[in-house]
Chain A
Amino acid sequence: MELFELTALELGEKLRSGEVTREEAVEAARARIRAAQPANNAFVTVTEAPAPAAEGAASPLAGVPMAYKDNICTRGVRTTCASKILGDFTPCYDATVVERLAAAGAVSLGKLNMDEFAMGSTSETSCFGAVKNPWDLTRAAGGSSGGAAAAVAAGEVWYAIGSDTGGSIRQPAAYCSVTGMKPTYGTVSRYGLIAYASSLDQMGPIARSAADCAAVLDVMMGKDARDSTSLDVPAGGLLASLTGDLRGKKIGLPADCFGDGLDGEVRSAVLAAAEVLKARGATVEEFALPVMEYVVPAYYIIACAEASSNLSRFDGVKYGWRAEGYEDLGELYTRTRTQGFGTEVKRRILLGTFVLSSGYYDAYYKKALQTKAVIKAAFDRAFEQYDLLLTPVAPTTAPKLGESLTDPLKMYLSDIYTVSVNLAGLPALSMPCGFDSKGLPIGAQLIGPALGDAAVLNAAYGFQLDTDYHRQSPKGGDEV
């Protein structure tokens, strides 16, 4: 087995035993990046490996090469959000997660491509060009953390840190046959994540396995004094808690997630995954979750409203890119923002500006917040019955490049299974559960109750003990 086919924990073990040196691991990754980048465009910036962390970094992932989505601030390394407007913006500070991972011995090799400002479902809105799916280079890698999913799938890094506002970790993980986790809102500090929608954004890992995700989250999670929305709850111990034992667990299948609009092959693969979980001792049953029809509109109103405010600071005055040829302050703003943002970002800023405007606030934003509360209550009720929920991640497998952007509404609707999780602040994981007849990966989503991150990871861990979808590499693994 080649080094790039190992999981992050397996590589970590070899690094600790001395079987592989840190330099060998870095060089193996860099060779893969050199080979894959021209094809899949997963990276925005490739950096030199940092100096080794202090001796005795305790994490089982110490020395394992990884990379960050390019909306996570890295001191001294440009952070672009894949947008022209940030230009060569180089933060003078690290995100809290970057600090924590570096202290645990993470070796960052660069910054990963994404949809501009994390707005999109295909990683095609990047000003650096679309990310291509390593399983089929004519198809999208998913989004918005498409670069993160593609880089892990192509074996360029052993894990990556993405962000998830409405499915941006889980959906690309599903399209690329890797494992991605969005933890409970508030368990990972958002300090240093360039905000899209603050009340929904959460960072998380994309890796080869649920165990890898658990190991990364053990480092990332925990209260941070710099983020007032970070929760003061016990962190760590996720990796150690994995047993794969699902005896006595009740798993609910929301019927509303298996109805119209769902591709037949995806449905079959997810239902087959339910059988695997059942075989490990879980009981599985269908139930009604009749809020699904409201989740997409509520999500886009809240996310766009927050985005319209969060992205106002990109005005050409202080940092980033500034348009030329302005006569006064108004023109400086208008030209910079008109030329600096891409179409999808501008669409969402305008939508958000509209729903917050005087006279429309109550009709849209306030109503969306009320809907959010209703959705959260519906999930709370479901978790009185079930330990976990199982759904598809996306209605279809990866679309052809260029197909989605022509119909934004269709693209928004494809987020239906993932956005409800962000609205309710819940933990959820996407795991590979099969391939369609075209050979494209299919993902299943496990959703847990708030702070039920360990249960989600444990179910996925159990699933991966009995399946090998997560160990498949594109085209046998030696080509990209």
Chain B
Amino acid sequence: MTWETVIGLETHVELATRTKIFCSCTTEFGGAPNTHCCPVCMGMPGTLPVLNEKVVELAVTAGLALNCAIAPVSRFDRKNYFYPDLPKAYQISQLYLPIARDGAVDIGGGKTIRIHELHMEEDAGKLVHDPWLDQTLTDYNRCGVPLIEIVTEPDFRSAEEVIAYLEKLKETLQYLGVSDCKMQEGSLRCDVNLSVRPVGSAELGTRTEMKNLNSFKAISRAIAYEARRQIELLEEGKRVVQETRRWDENKDATYAMRSKENAQDYRYFPDPDLPGVELSGAYLEHLKASLPELAEHKRARYQADWGLPAYDTEMITSQKTLAEFFEALVALGTDPKQGANWIMGQVLGQLSAHGLEAKDMKLTPATLARLIALVKEGRLNRNTAVKVFEAVFVTDGDVDAYVKEHGLEQVSDAGLVETVVEQVLAANEKSVADLKAGKEKAFGFLVGQVMRQLKGQASPAVVNQVLRDKLG
């Protein structure tokens, strides 16, 4: 029998707000334990939540970009359970009226993933076990950090589709400024619901939910493992138990955490401390109008308008900052292909050499545009321009001043080139003879000698031309 894997995802994304969802504590990652908290996020008696409006804005923005229907009225509900990382013993989330529903994401290859819902909620704290003292300590810094949870329909059929969706989701949310989506800091987390069924079957099999998937690699491996495990069970005539399983990165396997029979009853009910979130038509229109252009649109536009190869558009749109840099460069009159080459070669090279992220780069589009213009005008040769670029990159130095100070301007005086060519020909009679005997290699040697005399500042095209003329 051949089997089909059916997967649905629940993705938690940390929103890029400065402050928490229900108080004004910072959301900054890290910090000494219990220093980013206050009576509200620590759930002290008598304290009350007040919704951060920026959270609603980012959630709606994400919902719109994922083609969801936005609820004009949504509500917060309490999810009740006891755990020491949850100081109120309930998480404020949305169950009955989530802020967005019924979306769709195109993941390429003609495949669309339907979004069941997107809702807002607060993060919990974390527990730190101290094996030395055999004590468990609580750190409430993460408590109240705003999250959205994005739940898909069971539309995936392979790990590749899951990864394509997550890449797309990550790119979209980063472009929107909704989240930085750093998996290693936990700002993008994913639970995988997986079942298998005979190919052609319309019914869904019994599913398991996998947690603790901290990288795309872990997700791929966990899907492969779990699908194989379920198929083996079914082929042996056993059944799949509906349960939550934990992925163990080191053992490359999933382990049962709790079964459905032991599932908790969260006793959800509307949070009486928070009024409904009512969104006006004007507010939604405003957010719709201010949605930034997403990467896939940019890629299509770069190809259509400027004829850039697909590879270039992928590279340039891989980070929103780079794409914006590129567009500014073109707006300053730079040839798009030239601009793209400089970004993919020199800009990315220098970022990597200096261990910088594009968003932290000081170099302005104007500086690079000027440099490219000097090359185009024949006043700098490309190799020199690369050296100038490396010199001005970190501080966004003045290109013209640097060229002038270091005397790097390209020699465009044909008379000077001619004089030097004559000197070189006179001094290298053997090479001239070799060349005339058919050894083309000698030509390159002569060009090199001329360039050396001119300290590399001559246009290679001019040197070639003068040499050919003189050699007649």
Residues of A within 8 A of B (CB): 71-73, 79, 81, 86, 89, 91-93, 95, 190-195, 197-199, 225-229, 305-306, 308-309, 312-315, 317-319, 329, 333, 353, 356-358, 361, 365
Contact = CB atoms under 8 A, between A and B. Distances in A.
Nearest to B263: A358
Interface of B: 39, 42-51, 78, 80, 82, 84, 87-90, 138, 265, 267-269, 272-275
Contacts of A73: 45-46
Contacts, number: 100
B48 A91 contact: no
Give the residue among A191, A306, A312 with the most B Cβ atoms within 10 A.
Answer: A312
A353 B268 CA distance: 11
B261 to A, nearest CB: 13
Given A192-B47, A312-B90, 19 more contacts: A86-B45, A91-B44, A92-B39, A93-B39, A190-B48, A191-B48, A193-B46, A195-B273, A226-B50, A229-B272, A306-B269, A314-B45, A317-B138, A318-B87, A319-B44, A353-B267, A356-B267, A358-B265, A358-B267
Contacts of B51: 228
A306 B87 CA distance: 17
A228 B267 contact: no
B47 A191 contact: yes
10 contacts: A195-B273, A227-B48, A229-B48, A308-B267, A309-B90, A312-B80, A333-B82, A353-B267, A356-B80, A357-B267
Given A73-B46, A91-B45, A195-B46, A309 B273 contact: no
A353 B87 CA distance: 18
A320 B138 CA distance: 16
B267 A309 contact: yes
Nearest to B82: A333
State the 8 A-B residue pairs at the shortest beta-carbon distance, nearest first: A312-B89, A199-B272, A356-B267, A198-B272, A194-B45, A73-B46, A192-B46, A194-B46
Given A93-B39, A228-B275, A365-B269, A329 B84 contact: yes
A410 B236 CA distance: 62
A319 B272 CA distance: 24
Contacts of B84: 317, 329
Nearest to A94: B46
A229 B46 contact: no
A194 B51 CA distance: 20
B86 to A, nearest CB: 9
A110 to B, nearest CB: 18
A355 to B, nearest CB: 9
A155 B404 CA distance: 92
A478 B11 CA distance: 70
B48 A309 contact: no
A319 B44 CA distance: 9
A314 B48 CA distance: 16
A142 to B, nearest CB: 23
Contacts of A357: 265, 267
A309 B78 contact: yes
Contact of A228 (B39, B44, B46, B274): B274
Contacts of A315: 82, 89
B269 A313 contact: no
Given A315-B89, A356-B267, A229 B50 contact: no
Given A191-B48, A356-B267, A357-B265, A313 B273 contact: no
A313 B89 contact: yes
Contacts of B88: 312-313
Nearest to B266: A358
A226 B48 contact: yes
B272 A313 contact: no
B89 to A, nearest CB: 3
A60 to B, nearest CB: 28
A196 to B, nearest CB: 11
A93 B48 contact: no
Nearest to B90: A309
Contacts of A72: 46
Contacts of A95: 46
Contacts of B87: 313, 317-318
B46 A361 contact: no
Nearest to A330: B82
A128 B274 CA distance: 33
Contacts of B39: 91-93
A306 B272 contact: yes
A318 B267 CA distance: 23
Contacts of B268: 356, 361
Nearest to A95: B46
A314 B268 CA distance: 19
B122 to A, nearest CB: 14
A331 to B, nearest CB: 12
Contacts of B267: 308-309, 353, 356-358, 361
Given A312-B80, A313-B87, A356 B46 contact: no
Contacts of A71: 46
A317 B135 CA distance: 13
A309 B80 contact: yes
Nearest to A365: B269
Contact of A356 (B47, B50, B269): B269
B41 to A, nearest CB: 12
Nearest to B42: A318
A199 B48 CA distance: 12
B78 A198 contact: no
Contacts of B89: 309, 312-313, 315
A154 B269 CA distance: 42
Contacts of A329: 84
Given A309-B90, A312-B90, A89 B45 contact: yes
Contacts of B273: 195, 198, 228-229
A193 B272 CA distance: 14
A107 to B, nearest CB: 22
A8 to B, nearest CB: 25
A16 B78 CA distance: 49
A190 B275 CA distance: 14
Contacts of A356: 80, 267-269
Contacts of B82: 312, 315, 333
Nearest to B38: A93
Contacts of A79: 45-46
Contacts of A81: 45
Nearest to B79: A309
Give the residue among B39, B47, B49, B88 with the most A Cβ atoms within 10 A.
Answer: B47
B29 to A, nearest CB: 23
Nearest to B49: A228
Nearest to B50: A228
Nearest to A333: B82
Give the residue among B84, B272, B273, B275 with the most A Cβ atoms within 10 A.
Answer: B272
Nearest to A198: B272
Contacts of B50: 225-228
A191 B46 contact: yes
Contacts of A192: 46-47
A356 B78 CA distance: 11
A199 B42 CA distance: 21
Contacts of A312: 80, 82, 88-90
Contacts of B138: 317-318
A253 B90 CA distance: 43
Nearest to B81: A312
B125 to A, nearest CB: 11
B7 to A, nearest CB: 26
Give the residue among B45, B90, B272, B274 with the most A Cβ atoms within 10 A.
Answer: B45
A385 B84 CA distance: 53
B258 to A, nearest CB: 14
Contacts of A190: 48
A93 B23 CA distance: 15
A226 to B, nearest CB: 6
A227 B267 CA distance: 24
A28 B87 CA distance: 43
